Amino acid sequence: MNNKELVINAEEQKVKIALLEKGKLLELHQENYNNKIISVGDIYLGIVKKISYGLNAAIIDIGYSKSAFLHYDDLGFQIEKMLDLITINQKKNFLNNTFFLNKKEDKSSIEKILYPGQNILVQISKEPISNKGPKLTAKICIPGRNLVLIPFSEKVTISHKIKNIKEKNRLILYMQKIKPKKIGIIIRTVACFKIEQILKKELFILIKKWRKILNNLIKLPPVKVLSENNKTYCLLRDTFNDDFKSIYCNNNSLCKKISSYLSFIAPEKTSIIKYYKGNIPIFEKYGIEKQIQIFLGKNVPLGNGAYLVIEHTEALHVIDVNSGMINHIKKNCTESERIDHILQVNLLAATEIARQIRLRNMGGIIVVDFIDMYDPYQKKKLYEHLKEKMKNDKAKHQILPPNEFGLVQFTRHRVRPELKYNEKYQKSKSPIIYIHNLEFILEKIMNNKVEKGIQLHIHSFVAAYLKKGFPSIQQKWLFKYKKWIKIIPRNSFKYTEYKILNKNKEIISSSFI
């Protein structure tokens, strides 16, 4: 099913990349044109600054303003070969250093392997977040579309997601045949059924990158020896599949570069790249700016009158599911209907929460307070639904079942800073955001063909704003939904209060809770 789109807004100092799924904003990335920016995957020749004995870790200088952190567990079994290689390339006293490395002694702690002043090759595994410096790994890998090159190794491993035994054997035997010695290979899922010529070409590119790193080892550390590809290429490399139907970009030069890259990883898909040259900003044209304003605030609407309240700290995120419209259910509603309605609100909330976590790149501990449910079957259904919606999230995560208090807790690994909305911007744009939120709720209602004779009860000033001009916002709604929304001014309402009623005068959605 072709339901994904990539929209790229290239500005003078940065590139913004939006990933949409069925028109909904799923991920938002930003890349600055600045060599000093630290990115996951960058490889550095660093210097061991000091050993932290209590943490069994080393503090590494990679030329960044904050020192980087390398734990013993991230050294990898090939660390000695790598340190020997650095020593050889830098033409130091090879014998003395290898004697230090190869002594038959216990190496269960980092001080037995590394020492202050030593040069070491490291890769960024986690970008700087808040007041913490970047996290490093010495387990160097160079990823491609189909393959991942592992220096200092001999193994060929393959993704467990490839189930076809015959295809697994074909790929493993071929890579063992063509790969050089002292280089390991991981065969990625997308390599399944790829022709040998493509795999061979990619392996050659990855080896070329590794040779570039080796040539850079003679440089004076700390220094970056290999930059990760820009975020557009990385996103295409790691996520591109048949679900992508369009790639829009407002920079012709970047369009050509993307087309060139796509011709390598998916030549049959180059036609989906489209150069956007309209006068309306590209993020406005495709509704991304509006979604950023609606969905990156503290309160996130769900479309049926319910909403999420999201609070952040550095390591903990709390999400509260607020029913919003529960108080306006029909008076003659049965208990079973009320219970079912609560479940539906929670399921809708779980879907949005999975998107919000990925969109904002939340990490650490996440606690969700769903609307209370007492039926074990419904709790299990909600839990399974949340796991299903989170399964496409590539970040490592673990979800626990609802506890006795009705809270769902889970942890999620984060390698990049969290995407945060600008509070000052939100406040300065609050009237526009309010209208966007209102339109979002109305769209959900108008798409429900059962509801007719919709009335919007709203403050008199807001009502006047919606009716003014030609075409007015009210008239635009008519063109869009093919239904007339009657606007009723209410002086007793506050500016952001509203009620939406159907032809039977039943409240469908309301800001009153």
- Could you read off the pLDDT of 384-410 as tens digits, one per residue? 999 999 998 989 999 999 988 889 999
pTM of structure: 0.81
Asked if residue 178 lies in contact with residue 156, where contact means CB atoms within 8 angstroms, the answer is no
> Which residues is 60 bridged to in the sheet?
48, 68
Strand order in the sheet with 147-151: 142-143, 147-151, 183-187, 156-158
* Count of CA atoms in the C-beta half-sphere (13 A) of 326: 19
The answer for residues whose C-beta is within 8 angstroms of residue 346's C-beta and 6 or more apart is 321, 370, 371, 373, 382
The 10s digit of each residue's pLDDT in 50-64 is 999 999 999 999 999
> Which are the contacts of 289, defined by CB distance < 8 A and separation ≥ 6?
281, 283
Which stretch of DSSP H or E encloses residue 302? none
**Nearest Cα to Cα of residue 442 among 451, 431, 288, 495:** 451
> Confidence band (pLDDT; 50, 70, 90) for 325?
low
Flag whether pLDDT at 36 surpasses 90.
no
Domains in the chain and their CATH numbers?
4-36+229-286 (3.30.420.40), 43-137 (2.40.50.140), 142-226 (no CATH), 290-412 (no CATH), 429-510 (3.40.1260.20)
Q: Does residue 100 carry a pLDDT above 80?
A: no
Confidence of residue 189 (pLDDT cuts 50, 70, 90): very high
State yes or no: cis peptide before 471, omega within 30 of 0: yes
Q: Is the pLDDT of residue 423 over 80?
A: no
Q: What is the pLDDT of residues 112-170, one digit of tens each?
A: 999 999 999 999 999 998 788 999 999 999 999 999 999 989 899 999 999 999 999 99
For residue 273, list its beta bridge partners: 247
Q: What gap in Å lies between CA 3 and CA 452, rounded to an integer?
A: 30
pLDDT tens digits for range 280-322:
999 999 999 889 888 888 888 887 778 899 998 877 999 999 8
pLDDT value at residue 106: 55
Query: Which residues contact residue 432 at a Cβ distance below 8 angstroms, ignoring those fewer than 6 apart?
Result: 293
> 3-state DSSP helix/strand/coil percent for the chain, to nearest 5?
35, 25, 40
Type and span of the H or E element at 30? strand 24-32
More confident of the two residues 160 and 2: 160
Q: Are 13 and 342 in contact (CB under 8 A)?
A: no
User: Which of these ranges, 92-96, 102-106, 144-148, 399-403, has the smallest mean pLDDT?
Assistant: 92-96
| 239 contacts 143 by C-beta, under 8 angstroms | no
Strand ranges inside 183-272, DSSP E: 183-187, 223-226, 244-249
Tens-place pLDDT, residues 442-492: 887 887 767 788 999 999 999 999 999 989 999 999 988 888 999 999 988
The secondary structure of 49-101 as a DSSP string is EEEETTTTEEEEE-SSSS-EEEEGGGS-TTHHHHHHHHHHHTT--HHHHHHHH
Residue 449's contacts (CB-CB under 8 Å, 6 or more residues apart) are none
Cis omega (within 30 of 0) for bond into 417: no
- Over pLDDT 70: what percentage of the chain? 90
Nearest residue to 430 via CA among 298, 247, 329: 298
pLDDT of residue 512: 66
